[in-house]
Amino acid sequence: MHFCAIMQVFTKDSLYQIAHKVFLAMGSNDDDAKQAADVLLSADVRGIDSHGVSRLLGYVALWEAGRINMKPNVVVKREHKSTFTIDGDEGLGLVVAPKAMKIAIERAKEYGTGWGAIQNSNHFGIAGYHAMMALPHDMIGMAMTNATPFIPPTHSKQAMLGTNPLAYAFPTDKQKPLVIDLATASVARGKIEIARREGKVIPKGWIVDKHGFTSQNVDELKDGGMLTPLGSLEELGSHKGYALGSLVDVMTGVLSGANYGKWVPPFVSYLPLLPNLPGNGLGHFVGALEIEGFRSTSEFKASMDHWIQSFKSAERIDDSQEIFVPGEKEYITEEERNANGIPLNDKVIEDLEGLSKKFKIQF
Amino acid sequence: MHFCAIMQVFTKDSLYQIAHKVFLAMGSNDDDAKQAADVLLSADVRGIDSHGVSRLLGYVALWEAGRINMKPNVVVKREHKSTFTIDGDEGLGLVVAPKAMKIAIERAKEYGTGWGAIQNSNHFGIAGYHAMMALPHDMIGMAMTNATPFIPPTHSKQAMLGTNPLAYAFPTDKQKPLVIDLATASVARGKIEIARREGKVIPKGWIVDKHGFTSQNVDELKDGGMLTPLGSLEELGSHKGYALGSLVDVMTGVLSGANYGKWVPPFVSYLPLLPNLPGNGLGHFVGALEIEGFRSTSEFKASMDHWIQSFKSAERIDDSQEIFVPGEKEYITEEERNANGIPLNDKVIEDLEGLSKKFKIQF
């Protein structure tokens, strides 16, 4: 069995336009709608298709379910020099997180670093976008978020953690910035979806069934199955991925006063919120570190270039297989898609056509 | 074939005494010798046997090779409010890192957070020790270090990264603190050593041979073999472990002006330093975040307890298999070893006996 997705290619601008207009139609002001569209398109351009316009329908569904406030009053509710906590007022994470990151950058200008915990937010798109906001300021940027519970801790069969990504972005001189952006799950859902469409048996370690046992049958995910933490299997160190997911959950959920663990509000609108929520909405944590407070910025950037070059030129296993540094593939995709457009599959196109009809927007 | 290690049990105090006296004999002042012994013993007590007194001989060998300065002049060489960079003057990391952590805690009292990059240092023991120094101050503690190159990046057969651990410690109310302390390798060398002694075939993914290919033969490590990044195999996400190891290398090596990548000075004294070192010594990065700048400390601690309880009581795969939160097993071991002593194997005892003769110290 071979699956062939029908792909059609769109310009970045055309997809930005529909995203912008959908957010406007949902009630955003123009600045917020532009910001949200910008975060989504950064994912599409960088090849992280699961977090781009393919999510638009999901945000709309959450808004229709009354779980997103399109006119949030985002406020700092507590602060102390380099630190602050933000109440996102149930806004789009796509809007709330960049606001927090801007404050973190301002704090870093004043105090060397700036750190924001964010509660009462929603899905914030790709973590890398927010971390990369620090780059033009010669700062290291950092962003984390908790997410829909879908991963059981080691020895458990209950989804207690999301894919809880963390991202760091480092400025460079002539090289592209080093951007580390990874989910603390062993595998992206997108990869599983591709395997499902292609009817493939998936590798041992990608998922577990509802009883917590390893499964290579992708259909288990529709029957209570779950993802695994980075490390995949207990013998390969899945307790480390569980610990990393926990780190992100505590920094984003507990420190901010958001929900955590099994109570994190799911992205899919048809899943109800659990009773007895311990916090407010979903949580993020962002930070900015000014290089100059640690080392001369020009020296740091030159060393980053050297770091990247040394990794790129490390001895290869197979001469034909290039060594990539974190974030490099995304820059390659960005260049390619900026030139040639963004391919979308039939399902996503159908979703966008549906939204264009629903909101009477041209697409 | 079954291997049976001869184990003998020692009190924490007796091991502390020999470590303290060995560091004195190497030339440390009394405060530094006590600090270094305290870091080592914290590993033995917590069950991280690979980083306790079993390392003493290695520190001595490095000192004899002229690679450790036992009377370092540890100074802040650059700073900006919440940030600073320290020159460890080739001192023991066991001494340099706690000094940096104390400054980070002071900065956090003043600015909400404190962050120190450290260059020109050496192996600092367990990362968790340094992170946990923040706990009595109602702060979150963080520590990272780069380490002896022993892990190739994805698609490479050259050791470019160490096991590069990162640790975070979170204060709690009635529960034990949550302590996340993990190497960004897939498996600890200690586990491989146990498999070697027991003559076991190791799981696919733990190591690669000198050509970069997966191997289940533990002897490959003696013939140019290497560890793998967390994730183990490319299909199970080893590029994420590679990215995490890179994150630690850049934060500890590049930001501080220490060495990085393949140039990180190896812990074993018989391995020479590479030519054209790009920095000074080994690098660390430490941080402290005062809870109160984000959220009421009492609320945070109550939520941490609740977080831990909810994970402890998550649904189990098998009723007889408990779910542990990060750091919990170490606290259980600590309680047990404080009561019953610390078991050492014959090889470590022999090393300590050798040191006691060498330095004319009673053991």
Question: Does A235 reach chain B within 8 Å, measured CB to CB?
Answer: yes
pLDDT of residue A2: 45
Integer Cα distance of B82 and A83 in angstroms: 10
* A14 and A90 share one domain: no
Domain identity same for B232 and B346: no
Contact B82 A206 (CB under 8 A): no
Q: How far is B96 from chain A (nearest CA, A)?
A: 17
Q: Which residue in B has a C-alpha nearest to residue A116's C-alpha?
A: B294
Q: Is residue B221 part of a domain?
A: no
The long-range contacts involving B267-272, CB below 8 angstroms and separated by at least 24 positions, are B267/B58, B267/B62, B267/B123, B267/B147, B267/B148, B268/B58, B268/B61, B268/B148, B269/B58, B269/B61, B269/B62, B269/B64, B269/B65, B269/B67, B270/B61, B271/B148
- Looking at the domain assignment, is residue B33 inside a domain? yes
Which residue reads 């009377």 in tokens?
Answer: B71
With respect to residue B232, please indicate whether it lies within any of the assigned structural domains: yes
- The string of pLDDT tens digits covering residues A261-287 is 999 999 988 889 999 999 999 999 999
B37 lies in the same domain as B168: no
C-alpha to C-alpha distance for A89 and A120, rounded to whole angstroms: 6
Min mean pLDDT across A65-79, A329-343, B196-210 is at: B196-210
ipTM, 2 dp: 0.97
Q: Which of B230, B247, B257 is opposite residue A295, by nearest beta carbon?
A: B257
Are both B157 and B281 inside the same structural domain? yes
Residue B4 clears pLDDT 80, i.e. is over it:
no
In a domain, A17, yes or no: yes
**Chain B contact probe: residue of A189, A191, A311 with most B CBs at under 10 A:** A311
Q: What is the CATH number of the domain that holds A156?
A: 3.30.1370.60
Looking at the structure, do residues A4 and A20 belong to the same domain, yes or no? Answer: yes
Q: B180 and A211 in contact by Cβ < 8 A?
A: no
pLDDT per residue as tens digits for the range B173-228: 999 999 999 999 999 988 898 888 888 889 999 999 999 999 999 999 999 999 99
Facing residue for A78 by CB, picked from B235, B237, B295 = B295
In a shared domain, residues A259 and A171: yes
Q: Which residues pair with B338 in a beta bridge?
A: none
Q: Which value, in Å, is the radius of gyration of the alpha carbons in chain A?
A: 20
Residue B98 lies in a domain: yes
* Residue B81 forms contact with A (CB below 8 Å): yes
In this structure, the answer to whether residues B33 and B124 fall within a common structural domain is no
* B89 and B60 part of one domain: no
Residue B176 DSSP code: P
**Claim to verify: residue B40 and residue B109 sit in the same structural domain:** no
**How many domains does chain A fold into?**
2
Could you tell me what percent of chain B has a pLDDT over 70? 98
**CB contacts < 8 Å between A and B, how many?**
278
Q: Taking CB atoms and an 8 Å limit, are A307 and B79 in contact across chains?
A: no
Contact A311 B232 (CB under 8 A): no
Distance CA A68, CA A71 (A): 9
Q: What is the pLDDT of residues A315-324, one digit of tens each?
A: 999 999 999 9
Report if residue B214 sits inside a domain.
no
Q: How far apart are CA B361 and CA B120, in angstroms?
A: 30
Residue labelled with tokens 């998922």? A207
CATH code of the domain covering residue B37? 1.10.1530.10
- Determine contact: A276 vs chain B, CB below 8 A: no
Non-local (6+) Cβ contacts of A28 within 8 A are: A36, A70, A71, A92, A95
For residue B190, the model assigns a pLDDT of 84
Return the pLDDT at B200.
Answer: 87
- Residue bearing the bigger pLDDT, A198 or B44: B44
Collect all residues of chain B within an 8 Å Cβ-Cβ radius of residue A153: 311, 314, 323, 325
- Asked if the structure places residue B100 within a domain, the reply is yes
Residue A121's H or E segment, with its range, is strand A113-121
User: Measuring CA to CA, how many Å separate B241 from each of A184, A185, A211, A238, A314?
Assistant: 10, 11, 27, 12, 17
Closest CA to B68 of B88, B45, B42, B41: B88
A158 and A233 in a single domain? The answer is yes
The answer to whether B361 and B18 are in contact (CB under 8 A) is: yes
Nearest chain B residue to A324 by CA distance is B154
Instruction: Give domain status of residue A157, yes or no.
Output: yes
CA–CA dist B98, B286 (Å, integer): 9
Query: Which DSSP letter does residue B254 get?
Result: I
Residues from chain A that touch B255, judged by Cβ atoms under 8 A, are 140, 291, 294-295, 300
B277 inside 8 A of chain A by CB: no
Residue B2 confidence (pLDDT) above 50: no
CB contact under 8 A, A180 and B236: no
Name the residue range of residue A271's domain.
71-186+228-313
**Angle separating helix axes B328-340 and B30-46, nearest 10 degrees:** 110
pLDDT tens digits, residue range B45-86? 999 999 999 999 999 999 999 999 999 999 999 999 999 999
Does B244 lie in the same domain as B99?
yes
B351 and B271 part of one domain: no
pLDDT at A6: 67
